[in-house]
Structure 1
Amino acid sequence: MFACVIRGEHVWEIARLPGLAAFRDTLAVFEAWDYADGQIAAVMQDPPPDCAIPLADVRLEAPLRPRQIFCTGANYRRHVAELTAKQTDPVTAGMSSDERVAAAYAMMDERARNGVPYAFVKLPSAVTGPYDHIVLPAGVEEPDWELELGVVIGRPVRRISRENALSAVAGYVVANDISSRDRIYRADMKVIGTDWLASKCQESFLPLGPFIAPARFVVDPQDLRIELKLNGQTMQDESTADMIFDVARQIEYISSLVRLLPGDIICTGSPAGNGTHYQRFLRPGDVVEGTITGLGTQRLTCIAEPVQP
């Protein structure tokens, strides 16, 4: 396993490029991102042909094994507004469906102006590759998909401002925050709320890749198309422009709580079209394809968790 640069139908092992022998894995690259990115860009202007390997001859694993993974929930306006509009309370009970939707959008806009992101953590052991299996755990009844834009941090940051936050971004990656919906809430401890360990940290519950696009190639992270297909049928199709809290605001907020480290990943929320919306959850044999503009496509097959002897 090695860190590489992908261009067209060939890859170059980074550690074999001039001046880059120390960078044998991608975490090492991001720990020295400012130097490594510039050096890689300079070398790849005229890449050494004798180091090129046909892409067809390599297996792409997860492009990064991060130390910390952060996720934000309820972060797309249409998604949250539609869910909110389905709920009734004393204020909305007398409203028509259209009026409830309008009220929900107004609430989302107010949250964007004066609220904060809803952030939580996910274990690095959940990471899997872009063409691997999604293992559906025994006993889980509602395994769901959540295609998301992943943000890779390129330098240590603490309490960075929204205006400067994107300067800390090294690159972007396709991420799928697989979730067990039936395990999010503990029936025996409702007052405590969500149980992210049980619902989101299972093996293979964070497919990453196929590659990380350096930030200089992504003109605007708020202008990317997110599309997920289940067995060839489009289930999610939305622009990152619909985020309630944009990438910069999320970095600002998370870094106000903890120190972000090079190679950390922030999964920035998932748009409308999850399995919960369709009441159709993942099953063994399902093929899940996730695409984000300029970041490639991951393709994973769902399998049942193997029975332990």
Structure 2
Amino acid sequence: MPDPQPTHAGPFALGTFASGVSGEGVFPGLVTGSRVRDLSELAPSVRALVEDWDDWLPRLAGLARSSEGTWHDLAALRVLTPIEPGQILQSGANYRKHVVDLVAAEKESVHGATPEEARADAELMMDERARNGVPYVFLGSPRALSGPYDDIVLPALGEQHDWELELALVIGKSGKNIPAEEAMEYVAGYTISNDLTTRDRLYRPDLKAIGTDWFTAKNADTFLPTGPFLVPAAFVGDPGDLRITLRHNGVVRQDESTKDMIFDIPRLIAYVSTTTTLRPGDLLLTGSPAGNGAHWGVFLKPGDVVESEITGLGHQRNTVRSGQ
């Protein structure tokens, strides 16, 4: 269940809720602090609202100020993933410190560099990548989505189940070959995603030439807790200066600013739109900062609790359990 005092930036946010604990009575809702207005008489889903975002945004502002309609206490509802996305586009290796740590570790262990040499070389590589490189993006499965307070269910195969907290954006209008300088016009809002990964299933020993197996490592059921809310972009402030914090069993593991992104949101949108047409409701994850379990040598086990938050977007709390 949600925190008794959830927080979101701005006067309102959107979400998807269920009035029953087993998931019945699902409806799109307008969130104002600790209250939720049922919007099902106006639209069938949050995605339907986003598909006509320019029209709905001012109307939602008026609804948030009104006492009309059916209102619920947020604490009495089950909070689901805020939107059913069309595509899930996921950015890899997009935080400078995170990637520098990985590259430097390889240079030390494989190439025999000193820690100082390894880090200096890695920093130079990231400078060059930021100037002349392009993002690394792959697709995720919508079936991996789960709610912000749902259990994380560990699959039977694999042992190194890891967290990767990320800022996610929701596209608000269609576009192809979008110029970076126009890209922010295509963002409806933001939410939180935790892009879980089973590290020891990421590489296929039987197909080494092919490389990584993103489908198996990242798309188990419940491996993409998302939400609690879709917060309109206008309320979030500078998405390039938000704090991302993850606690594992009460210990802070990730604590970084989105300033550390190598490729910012406009460059990510411009890049992915050269390949695929973006449509309202598409979800774009922007990468995860340093501090995942592989860095700490700690992985998720049954009974663990993962708590995540991003400035102005609320928080998640997920308990880990075995799927066996």
Give the shorter-chain TM-score range. over 0.9
Residue of structure 2 equivalent to 1:55: 74
Residue of structure 2 equivalent to 1:6: 31
Matched, 1:15 2:40: yes
Could you tell me which of 83, 106, 115 is aligned with 2:102?
83
**C-alpha deviation, 1:99, in angstroms:** 2.8
Residue of structure 2 equivalent to 1:165: 183
Residue of structure 2 equivalent to 1:226: 244
The C-alpha deviation readout for 1:195-245, integer Å capped at 9, x for no partner, is: 111111110010001111100011111100000000111000000000000
| 1:107-146 matched pairs, under 5 angstroms | 107-146=125-164
Residue of structure 1 equivalent to 2:114: 96
Residue of structure 2 equivalent to 1:285: 303
AA aligned opposite 2:31:
I
Residue of structure 2 equivalent to 1:297: 315
Percentage identity across paired residues of the two chains: 49
Residue of structure 2 equivalent to 1:240: 258
Write the distance in 1 (CA, Å) between the matches of 2:196 and 2:287. Answer: 12
Matched, 1:216 2:216: no
Could you tell me which of 203, 220, 224 is aligned with 1:202?
220
Write the distance in 1 (CA, Å) between the matches of 2:124 and 2:146. Answer: 38
Write the distance in 2 (CA, Å) between the matches of 1:242 and 1:56. Answer: 34
| 1:260-271 matched pairs, under 5 angstroms | 260-271=278-289
- 1:110 aligns to what SS in structure 2? helix
AA aligned opposite 1:135:
V
AA aligned opposite 1:162:
A
Write the distance in 1 (CA, Å) between the matches of 2:284 and 2:140. Answer: 10
**C-alpha deviation, 1:86, in angstroms:** 1.2
**C-alpha deviation, 1:49, in angstroms:** 4.8
Residue of structure 2 equivalent to 1:43: 63
AA aligned opposite 2:40:
A
TM-score (norm 2): 0.89
Write the distance in 2 (CA, Å) between the matches of 1:303 and 1:15. Answer: 33
| 1:182-193 matched pairs, under 5 angstroms | 182-193=200-211
Contact 1:92 1:100 in 2 (8 A): no
AA aligned opposite 1:143:
H
Distance 1:196 1:224, change over 3 A: same
AA aligned opposite 1:27:
R
Write the distance in 2 (CA, Å) between the matches of 1:132 and 1:286. Answer: 13
**C-alpha deviation, 1:50, in angstroms:** 5.2
Residue of structure 1 equivalent to 2:198: 180
Distance 1:90 1:146, change over 3 A: closer
Which 4+ residue blocks in structure 1 deviate beyond 3 angstroms? 89-93
Contact 2:37 2:69 in 1 (8 A): no
Equivalent pairs, count: 299
